[in-house]
Chains A and B, each alone.
Chain A
Amino acid sequence: MFADLNLRKRWAAVTMPLREQLRRIPTLSYLVGLFAAVVLEQAVGKDFAQNVLDFRRLPRFFGIVDIFEPFGNLDFSGVLAPFFPSPTGLTQTPVQDAGNAIGQLVTDFVNALFYQGPRDPGFFSVFLRVLVYDVVVFVIPTLVVALLVGWLLTHLLRGLPGWLIVALNVAALYTVVALWGGDGGTRELTLVYMGINIMLAVSLNLVNGYMGEFSVGHAGFMAVGAYVSSILTMWFFTDTTIFEGAPLVATDSGVVLVVGFVVALVAGGVAAALAGLLVAFPSFRTRGDYLAIVTLAVNFIVQGVLNNIEVVGGARGLNGVPLWSDLQWVMILTIISVIIIYNLVNSTYGKGIIAIREDEIAADLMGVHTRQVKLVAFLVSSFIAGMAGGLFAHALAYVNPGMFGILKSTEALVMVYLGGMGSISGSVLAAVIFTLLVEALRPLAILKWVVIPLILIFLMLFRPQGLFGFREIKFNLRGGESAAAAQEAGDGTA
């Protein structure tokens, strides 16, 4: 016990100068480092993975998707099936059969952990090799390059205006993600979902975290945006049997298509914002649990309406939505959404939203036009959800009302509470983690929906405020003294 503590202390002491150095270099240097790592992966990653680490292919998403694959063979169906009638009739010995199935399951599980054949390594083997791959290809190159350019960047960034530094960081992030993820395959698709999830989480956080209401029907707004934008793009640009066959605008001109997509997405957002009025107006008179029920009702109303409009396919949905949501579109709109929400909640006007959460009556009496502020919060939130819905439809090429039910709303809620109320960076991080988790646990099939809620229960037990409740991740944009150190110094002089 004590020896362990000592070791940790010694380790902390040894790495102290390095960690201090890492804290001092500007965020941009990490992005440059990441860029170098991505280039490295593209150059030698495949060779390294296949020849040195004996992977069959490039580890997917830093190997996260590969780790749980060994568990994909587990078959839980045998445990309960003997107790239910099957086409061959009820088995004579259900308890015994179930026992056998459990025994098999345990054996399979142990095999999955260690070894299940020459072509199927176990969990530990995959995990270790993924760790080696990530450290060698990503962590070490990123840190080394970051340290190398850190000093230089600190000097280059000195004297630049704040907005330019932010812009540089955003551009660097965009470049790295585009370079790493723009493969047109699963990587890109996962990143597309990730961006859409970020938009959903951040926009929902505006209402649930910053304003302190409890909206449980966010997917309803997403549905409105998805349908409106899909109808517009299909009607104008595609050969569809639903809307009178030939496209209204038959063009291959890139500019027209881009403008068309933007208009369709914005129209979807506006339509979703109008649907948001259905929640905003009741919010003037009621709040808390009662408003939560209103949001739930709006979600069901939207779904119900879509289910019953035959022109848009009813419950079957719309098929043949053009596949336009690529990584670029999603990234740009995600960045814009995050910036909009960030600027809103950091302005004096937007802080009125937080004042409403803290004490609405006081806000009203101290000059905050609470109705207008609530209206703005709901409109912005549902507008962004609508845009996310539009992107979602154009990423799947298909929408139906069933996608936008209470389950989707719950996913958005999970991300908000995982990341922490009233924290934009928390929501972004949570959306990233959640998307990866859904991908990583895909091999577990239906068991995924046992594991993810379990994670949520443990989170609520041990960290009820979420990862970053009411705090933001601090970025050391300018480099030099770390943010924490600077704050300490500031407190000392005050």
Chain B
Amino acid sequence: MALLEIDNLTHYFGGLRAVGDFNLHLEEGELVGLIGPNGAGKTTVFNLVTGAYKASEGSIRLNGAELVGKPPYVINGMGISRTFQTIRLWNSMTVLDNIKVAHHGRVKYNLLDMFLVLPRYRESEREIEAHAMELLRLFKLERHAHEPARNLPYGEQRRVEIVRAMASQPRLLLLDEPAAGMNPGEIGSLMEFIHWIRDEFKLTIWLIEHQMRLVMNICERIKVLDFGETIAEGTPAEIQNDRKVIEAYLGEEVEGV
């Protein structure tokens, strides 16, 4: 059985069909790309999968469990985590606190434990802090642990966002334009970084990206959206030569020019 099964996913914003009849099966450990021109509905698909929007039609299943209709925090707890197109860290909080709050699903105390600082509270907090620090160490961000997130340089903030997404120990990681705003050198190291995460944490990664170099180099399979409809699917080589994809990106050829 596939890890994530999306069947006939359709979503309307009012009368607009933002995503139409989207199908995708992700196998455990795959690295899949989702591309398409601006406004094609890529981020909408991510929002549907993570529960930010409720799908109008269709089904999304993680290991067979239906996700449509579940609130975002439950879906997050079931093992899907994501980053955002524009950085959405909690800016005034420290980097460590950003990671700790993403552990909300693991909080094992009730209000009384918390108000009275009972052992169960202290134990749970210690566990969360230790796990958060370990993640920061793994991603070589521990020296920033006590800095407010907003003080970090852009690239580091992007990394913190990925660490935060890892805090809930997801099985599927959705990256929404991880290379946005990066220069060619940074994109190179990002590619290694994404591979490293997948191998280190045994993850399935599904990413949206406009940087073709990154997508074509690291994705094993690519899906192309345009105006909410799937126009192509296949290996990077197949996508690069697909007529419909070229049309979507560059426009149709005009006869007689």
Contact = CB atoms under 8 A, between A and B. Distances in A.
B172 to A, nearest CB: 13
Interface stretch (A17-25, A268-276, A368-376): A368-376
A281 to B, nearest CB: 16
Interface stretch (B8-16, B114-122, B194-202): B114-122
Contacts of A376: 111
Contacts of B105: 367
B109 interface: yes
B124 to A, nearest CB: 8
Given A363-B90, A367-B104, A349 B72 contact: no
B90 A348 contact: no
Contacts of A369: 71, 73, 104
Contacts of B92: 354, 358, 470
Contacts of A258: none
A198 B232 CA distance: 63
B115 A339 contact: yes
A340 interface: yes
A366 B101 contact: yes
Contact of A347 (B51, B72, B125): B125
B115 A344 contact: yes
Nearest to A359: B88
Interface residues of B, number: 40
Interface string B70-107: 01110011000110100011111100010011111101
B88 A361 contact: yes
Given A358-B91, A362-B84, A370 B101 contact: no
B164 interface: yes
Contact of A343 (B73, B115, B167): B115
B93 A354 contact: yes
A462 interface: no
A62 B92 CA distance: 38
B100 A362 contact: no
A352 B93 CA distance: 11
A364 B72 contact: yes
Nearest to A351: B101
A464 to B, nearest CB: 16
Contact of A351 (B82, B93, B117, B124): B93
B59 interface: no
Contacts of A494: 143
B91 A349 contact: no
Contacts of A220: none
A466 interface: no
Contacts of B143: 494
B73 A354 contact: no
A376 B114 CA distance: 12
B90 A163 contact: no
A367 B77 contact: yes
Interface in A308-360: 339-340, 343-344, 347-352, 354-355, 358-359
Nearest to A350: B114
Contact of A367 (B76, B89, B109, B115): B76
Interface string B159-184: 00000110110000000000000000
B52 A355 contact: no
Contacts of B77: 367
A365 B72 CA distance: 5
A242 to B, nearest CB: 35
- Interface size class on chain A is 20 to 34
A163 B102 contact: no
A213 to B, nearest CB: 16
A11 B195 CA distance: 61
B104 A352 contact: yes
A163 B168 CA distance: 31
Interface in B23-60: 50-52
A368 B104 contact: yes
B102 A366 contact: yes
A352 B101 contact: yes
B102 A351 contact: no
B107 A349 contact: yes
Contact of A365 (B82, B91, B97, B167): B82
B76 A351 contact: no
Nearest to B80: A365
B90 A367 contact: no
A365 B104 contact: no
A333 to B, nearest CB: 14
B161 to A, nearest CB: 9
A370 B128 CA distance: 19
B84 to A, nearest CB: 7
Given A361-B88, A362-B88, A349 B76 contact: no
Nearest to A349: B107
Contacts of B89: 358-359, 362
B168 A366 contact: yes
A352 B88 CA distance: 14
Given A349-B107, A358-B92, A359-B90, A364 B52 contact: yes
B52 A365 contact: yes
A494 B128 CA distance: 22
A470 B77 CA distance: 30
A358 B84 CA distance: 15
Contact of B114 (A343, A358, A370, A470): A343
Given A352-B104, A367-B73, A347 B82 contact: no
B93 A355 contact: yes
Contacts of A368: 73, 101, 104
Nearest to A340: B115
B73 A364 contact: yes
B93 A349 contact: no
B168 to A, nearest CB: 5
B52 A361 contact: yes
Among A352, A362, A364, the one with the most B-chain Cβ atoms within 10 Å of its Cβ is: A362
A364 to B, nearest CB: 5
Across the A-B interface, the 5 shortest Cβ-Cβ residue pairs: A358-B90, A367-B76, A362-B88, A364-B72, A366-B102
Given A351-B97, A358-B91, A366-B104, 13 more contacts: A349-B114, A351-B101, A359-B90, A364-B72, A364-B73, A365-B72, A365-B76, A365-B82, A366-B101, A366-B168, A367-B73, A368-B73, A369-B104
12 contacts: A340-B115, A343-B115, A348-B103, A348-B125, A349-B109, A351-B93, A352-B101, A354-B97, A358-B89, A364-B72, A366-B165, A370-B73
Interface of A: 163, 339-340, 343-344, 347-352, 354-355, 358-359, 361-370, 376, 470, 494
